Structure 1
Amino acid sequence: MELFVVNRHNEEPESKGTEVDEEQEKLKKTLQRIEKNKKLRSKQKERDKKLKETIQRTTKLRQAKRELKAKIVVVPKDDNKEFLDHNIEVDEANNAGTTEENTAKNRKNKKRKLDSNNVEGFTILGVDNFAKKNKVKRVLPKWLANPTIISVNLQKLETKVSDMKVLDKSLRKLLKAKGILNFFPVQVEVIPWLLESNRHSDIMFPRDVCISAPTGSGKTLAFVLPLIQVIKKHHIKKIRALVILPTRDLAVQVFTTFKTYSEGTNIDICLITGQNSFEAEQRQLVYKNAAFGYVTKVDILVCTAGRLIDHLKATEGFDLQHLEFLVIDEADRVLESVQNDWLYHLEKHIYPDGSTRILNQITLQKRRPPQKLLFSATLSQDPEKLQQLNLFQPKLFTSVVENNGELSKENLVTVDKFIGKYTTPKELTERYIQTSVDLKPLVLYKFINQEKLRKILVFTHSVESAHRLAILLTALFKEELKVQDISSHLQLKQRKELITKFSEGQIDILISTDALARGIDLPGVQCVISYSAPKYLKAYIHRAGRTARAGEQGIAITMLHSSQLPKFQALLKQAEKSNVEEIKISEEDLEPLGDQYKESLDKLRNTVEKEEKTGLKKIKAAKKFKKNIKSYNAMKINSNGAEKGTP
């Protein structure tokens, strides 16, 4: 026992000495590592400093190179080879001894930087990476990047109707009878092209066409006239052309245009939008013959997408196998519609065997696929969206407007940056008014009176807002101006009556939702006012497009409160519009109208309360009527049962 104690006490000092040595060794190594890291960091700072200096020198050299290139005029290679060789020599002389050195230095610096960023397995935080990333350039399909440019100058029309000899004489006479003496630029470009592409359509399939031009530039006649001329040569009734539109009102307008210019021909045009009963529309489309079965009664069918699918699914004998033209007007809006997946069902009906357009071309089948014609003021340039249409060797016609309203031929080389930009007519003046929410109706009233405007189209965000604004403006203007609201809640007949009265000048201010924002032709609109700020650029373009049509002057006003101004300015920047100025109406100018505004607000409140009470009474009356009908039917059933049960 004593030996154990002696041994234990003898070993203790030796153990403590060993531990102290180990700790001192570890501390020494740690200090060495810290010192090493300090040196590495100082070296890294020196390298970063040198790298920054190198980058600055390289940037200056590149800037000088760009300035030199900007001074050099680019000449076609085949025309002046010596001039191009001289340019190359100038570049080499300016960059000699600098470009290769800088490139080598940059590579070494990058490599050193990457190596120094990793110290014994740890990444040093806070080290800036100055490696410049390459910008991703958008690459468009060839047909989108190389469009045919259409002028937007509607003041100087150079092509007379009598000069377009490719158009039938009968159609030219009709145009003159309707007072049309000159063609618009979009018609001058598109009509001859479509007629020429269909001249040998039995041998070579015609290319599909996309037309993007401002509202009111004459796009409807650009497809109506060629279709009538091509289709009137057929004597057997088959649906040769299908025209799809996003709304009923626009479908009615296009149908009327077809009817007008098909006078004196044997062409039958049909309109199906759901306005009539489904059975009535079926009778318009087909009839059953005892000998031949179902026979088509129509040459050109104008429709909305949803109603078309209803007939594809449920109408026996409805045949699109002989379709030659598929026209999609307001194409971006129609393509966004997902009603029953109309495009899928249409393709399935046209190609029941599952073949595609390309397959038909390869196998040289006799039946030609329909030529697709897409029209819009805001046509999408997204290849992915357009791909779903399965376009065949498409051709693009587009309008291009620079900030000064003109397109110089020197700028055609950079036209790709304009593709897909939304254009508005040159004759359109665009302005905005900034105001508070409370004073917005009064500012609108003041502006209309101040400018002495008539024939004004006002857009709001909802049916309720349109109705209430109409009541308030009626109270403000009293007998001075006639104000009316219009919406999709009204029957088509009622909407047509209101539009007719507005066009004839019986209504001065027409207040609407975006139901009237697309395609509808309202002659003589002096001013379009966006009372509710547009959420999207497309909405703004189509609203503004209701005025300044067919070469006439027009004004587009947008009313904004302070929080909406940045978003609106972003929309304008997206459309590359820099000439939209503010119209200022101060609160001092509104002070004399204070009492009148209060009276009008009281009238609005009373009118809305009355309408709500009337609406409740109507609902109660309808419920009571339904209840009486049910009780009457129950009594009738009981009485019939009692009669049958009597001996």
Structure 2
Amino acid sequence: MNFDDFNISEDIRKAIAEMGFTSPTPIQEIAIPEALNGLDLIGQAQTGSGKTLAFAVPILEKIFIPDKSPQAIVLCPTRELCMQVASEIAKLGSKIKKLKVLSVYGGQPIGKQTRVLKKGVHVVVGTPGRVIDHIQRGNLDLIGIETVVLDEADEMLEMGFREDIETILANTPHQRQTLLFSATIPPEIKDIANKYQKNPKFIKISDNKKNIPKITQYSYKCDIRYKFVDMTKLLDAYDVKLALIFCNTKKSVDFVKKHLKKEDYSVDSIHGDMTQKARDKVMNKFKNGNISILVATDVAARGLDIDDVDVVINYDVPQNPDDYIHRIGRTARAGKKGLAFTLVADDEISRFNNIKRNNRSKIISKDIPSDEEILKIKSEQILSDAKKSIKVDKLNAYKKIIKESSGSKEEYLDVAAALLKRIMEN
């Protein structure tokens, strides 16, 4: 199936093509036609499954540009996710003339958001608290809303936004379409669905093998005294370019960041006690590749959506299975492969066993690699990249140079070994 099979406008089709998407993900394949038919949906899918496009396409198909009042509202748990979702919707609507999309969230001057709202906005993407603020100030009238989306609903409820969500839903027209997306479906989600949706169609993608992110999951039993050293061995072995390290507490975040800096790693951290401005600054450094490692607590990393994270490391075992799912879902985005490592100290074993019982895919138990094993792992990664290069790169000029400088097969082998050693040491 491809996007041409959907009953969508040429403007949206062109934008999808420019965004680099050719065929829909499983959640898009099922959700888009149903949402275009006006049905309410509950979509259970992991972060990174393509759900933003799944609700953005139906939203934009219904927008009537001459009406400058809000026609769709998307609620997200964090400002980071708000910005990402608004950006995605704007890209999707880039061919629709005069379309206005606005993200509203705390930590940004409310006056600027108010001025844009007064001029007219078609789609509002916001955190529940800031949306309520605009409603109470008379800046945001939801009377013309046709579509409400609750994105990452389980995270919003976990962060205590239930009352705000219900207040917002109560301020929208009864005949609206309500689309709810969540990685997990706890009882609170079911309560909201029963109360605010009309015979919703339930779509579950998490068990669909085609959509399971390509995350290889490893666990490492370790002594609490050597956990940090063991983690650096993993960072070294797997030549990590972009890593997200999760800790359970601010104290643990500060410890890991401080000691990684001492080891000359390119690292920074975010946690709940930081100002929003400071968190944004760190996030931008991580997104732009100016740092290669981000250490974070669960709350600080809510809604984090970065495509190129190679590995997620659970420095502390998560408190529950849902937190584990949210954490490891930050890698293997957009069809890429990813790694997830969990370091398990003695006092974390029972908590980790609970996670393993609830985990749908296998977590492979391994030993922390020795120096010899690290050499082997790194070598295999370099050789794997080289084999990919053979298939896709133009190598004739390089082959000629090696052919001219080497004679026998043994010399070729010596050259390959010397090049591998040089790469490993740099």
- 1:541 and 2:325 aligned: yes
Query: Using a 3 Å threshold, how does the CA distance of structure 1 residues 302 and 557 change in structure 2: closer, same or farther?
Result: same
Q: Is the 8 A contact 1:425 1:549 kept in 2?
A: no
Q: Distance in 1 between matches of 2:6 and 2:371?
A: 59
- 1:323 and 2:145 aligned: yes
- 1:228 and 2:12 aligned: no
For 1:385, the equivalent position in structure 2 comes to: 191
- 1:246 and 2:246 aligned: no
Which one has a bigger Cα radius of gyration? Answer: 1
For 1:180, the equivalent position in structure 2 comes to: 21
Query: By how many angstroms is 1:541 displaced?
Result: 0.2
SS in 2 for 1:554: strand
Match of 2:336 among 535, 542, 552: 552
SS in 2 for 1:515: coil
Query: By how many angstroms is 1:326 displaced?
Result: 0.7
Match of 1:461 among 248, 255, 258: 248
Query: By how many angstroms is 1:165 displaced?
Result: 4.4
Which amino acid counterpart does residue 121 of structure 2 have in structure 1?
V
Alignment of 1:403-552 (within 5 A): 405=209, 425-476=212-263, 478=264, 481-515=265-299, 517-552=301-336
Query: Using a 3 Å threshold, how does the CA distance of structure 1 residues 434 and 491 change in structure 2: closer, same or farther?
Result: same
For 2:381, the equivalent position in structure 1 comes to: none
Which amino acid counterpart does residue 328 of structure 2 have in structure 1?
A
- The C-alpha deviation readout for 1:371-416, integer Å capped at 9, x for no partner, is 11001222336675345642211101112538xx57xxxxxxxxxx
For 1:582, the equivalent position in structure 2 comes to: 365
Q: Distance in 2 between matches of 1:564 and 1:571?
A: 11
- The C-alpha deviation readout for 1:288-313, integer Å capped at 9, x for no partner, is xxxxxxxxx12111111111222222
Instruction: Tell me the percent identity.
Output: 29
For 2:114, the equivalent position in structure 1 comes to: 282
Alignment of 1:232-311 (within 5 A): 233-265=64-96, 266-286=98-118, 297-311=120-134
Q: Distance in 2 between matches of 1:440 and 1:505?
A: 26
Query: By how many angstroms is 1:337 displaced?
Result: 4.4
Q: Distance in 2 between matches of 1:463 and 1:176?
A: 42
SS in 2 for 1:453: coil
Match of 1:335 among 157, 165, 181: 157
Q: Distance in 2 between matches of 1:337 and 1:371?
A: 24
- The C-alpha deviation readout for 1:422-467, integer Å capped at 9, x for no partner, is xx82411111111121111111111211232221110112233212
Q: Is the 8 A contact 2:206 2:212 kept in 1?
A: no
Query: Using a 3 Å threshold, how does the CA distance of structure 1 residues 513 and 176 change in structure 2: closer, same or farther?
Result: same
Q: Distance in 2 between matches of 1:574 and 1:187?
A: 26
Match of 1:193 among 30, 34, 39: 34
For 1:138, the equivalent position in structure 2 comes to: none
**Structure 1: runs of 5 or more not aligned:** 1-158, 199-206, 288-296, 352-356, 358-368, 407-423, 591-647
Query: By how many angstroms is 1:240 displaced?
Result: 0.7
Q: Distance in 2 between matches of 1:499 and 1:273?
A: 16
Q: Distance in 1 between matches of 2:279 and 2:304?
A: 12
Q: Is the 8 A contact 1:238 1:322 kept in 2?
A: yes
SS in 2 for 1:318: coil
SS in 1 for 2:225: coil
Q: Is the 8 A contact 1:457 1:509 kept in 2?
A: yes
Query: Using a 3 Å threshold, how does the CA distance of structure 1 residues 443 and 337 change in structure 2: closer, same or farther?
Result: closer
Q: Distance in 2 between matches of 1:177 and 1:280?
A: 30
CA-atom RMSD in angstroms: 2.5
Which amino acid counterpart does residue 271 of structure 1 have in structure 2?
S
Q: Distance in 2 between matches of 1:510 and 1:317?
A: 37
Alignment of 1:98-177 (within 5 A): 159-161=1-3, 163-177=4-18
Query: By how many angstroms is 1:215 displaced?
Result: 2.0
SS in 2 for 1:350: coil
Query: By how many angstroms is 1:506 displaced?
Result: 2.8
Query: By how many angstroms is 1:488 displaced?
Result: 4.1
Query: Using a 3 Å threshold, how does the CA distance of structure 1 residues 238 and 551 change in structure 2: closer, same or farther?
Result: same
Which protein has the bigger helix share? 1
Q: Distance in 2 between matches of 1:580 and 1:230?
A: 43
For 1:147, the equivalent position in structure 2 comes to: none
For 1:143, the equivalent position in structure 2 comes to: none
Q: Distance in 2 between matches of 1:216 and 1:472?
A: 31
Q: Is the 8 A contact 1:518 1:543 kept in 2?
A: no
Query: By how many angstroms is 1:494 displaced?
Result: 4.4
Query: Using a 3 Å threshold, how does the CA distance of structure 1 residues 298 and 178 change in structure 2: closer, same or farther?
Result: same
Alignment of 1:28-47 (within 5 A): none
For 2:400, the equivalent position in structure 1 comes to: none
Q: Distance in 2 between matches of 1:176 and 1:400?
A: 26
What TM-score do you get using the length of structure 1 for normalisation? Answer: 0.54
SS in 1 for 2:134: helix
Query: Using a 3 Å threshold, how does the CA distance of structure 1 residues 321 and 339 change in structure 2: closer, same or farther?
Result: same
Query: Using a 3 Å threshold, how does the CA distance of structure 1 residues 563 and 340 change in structure 2: closer, same or farther?
Result: closer
- The C-alpha deviation readout for 1:225-275, integer Å capped at 9, x for no partner, is 2211211x3412121111111111111111111222222322211221123
Count of residues in correspondence between the two structures: 371
Q: Distance in 2 between matches of 1:518 and 1:509?
A: 17
Q: Is the 8 A contact 1:425 1:548 kept in 2?
A: no
Query: Using a 3 Å threshold, how does the CA distance of structure 1 residues 234 and 492 change in structure 2: closer, same or farther?
Result: same
For 1:29, the equivalent position in structure 2 comes to: none
- 1:211 and 2:17 aligned: no
Which amino acid counterpart does residue 358 of structure 2 have in structure 1?
Q
Q: Distance in 1 between matches of 2:78 and 2:139?
A: 26
SS in 2 for 1:439: helix
- The C-alpha deviation readout for 1:503-537, integer Å capped at 9, x for no partner, is 34332211111135443221211110011110011
Q: Distance in 2 between matches of 1:447 and 1:343?
A: 42
Query: By how many angstroms is 1:186 displaced?
Result: 1.3
